[in-house]
Amino acid sequence: MKLTSIIATAAMAFVAGHALAAGNHAGGHGESDAIGKPGKAANVKRTVTVDMLDTMRFTPDNIIVKQGETIKFIVKNSGKIKHEMVLGTEKELKEHYEAMKKNPEMEHADDNQVTVLPSKSGEIIWQFTKAGKVNFACLQPGHYDAGMKGAVVVGGMSKTADFFSLSANAQSINPIAMTTGEVKKIDKDAGKITLKHEDIKNLDMPGMTMVFQVTDKSMLDKVQVGDKVKFIADKQQGKFLVTDIQPANGAK
């Protein structure tokens, strides 16, 4: 059995919601173990918003997570046609995509995927238990072929060269490590934080004070101006992002 739990098309309006129906995978049947397992809402440490566009792209399309981390993906459809985000191995995704081409009307409701109608959003809560790479794709007919895919790199070590090619000075693949810094300014509305930071090794960036976009505004509730923090910085599409932040002393 591959990506199962195919449901009938009846509840079209319902697909924008998350995959409520698929409680059957909790604990896994084996097939999903390679990519992790459905996450529990109580264990969510971080929310990542993924935008789906009619240009057949995910933004971001390269996401870095820690091994064991439970991520809540807010999956937005900014396009005018239906899209979906499905997590899987490349093999699973390809097989599923072929099945979708033969049965374009089918809807699925596994925990590892969400189908989203135009202008709507849905969510996936997923725990990444194995180091390595988990692929994701839109399996709507034609979309995968058009390049609508991405990857989650699990384990703090990027295995995808294209991620590091974004960093002009990247000469080697550096492990993603927490960087120490101090909060200088928080702009909650804009989702921005200004950090005076030490060397950011994974971006090959010397210490300085910089403005970062946070991947989730709620991260800004955890810290205040003047706090010493540890954070993970990333660079995607030329923008500097903070994907995780926490008080440096743990206490708070």
Residue 13 C-beta: closest distance to Cu ion, Å = 19
Sites of contact with Cu ion (CB under 5 A): 83, 138, 140, 143, 148
Residue 54 C-beta: closest distance to Cu ion, Å = 8
Q: Residue 138 or residue 195: which is nearer to Cu ion going by CB?
A: 138
Residue 150 C-beta: closest distance to Cu ion, Å = 12
Please state the φ and ψ torsions of residue 58, each to the nearest 5 degrees: -100, 140
Residue 55 C-beta: closest distance to Cu ion, Å = 10
What are the distances in angstroms from CA 250 to CA 46, 128, 227, 246?
A: 17, 23, 11, 7
Q: Residue 18 or residue 197: which is nearer to Cu ion going by CB?
A: 18
Q: Which residue is nearest to Cu ion (CB)?
A: 138
Q: Residue 9 or residue 55: which is nearer to Cu ion going by CB?
A: 55
Residue 195 C-beta: closest distance to Cu ion, Å = 35
Q: Residue 128 or residue 136: which is nearer to Cu ion going by CB?
A: 136
Q: Residue 141 or residue 207: which is nearer to Cu ion going by CB?
A: 141
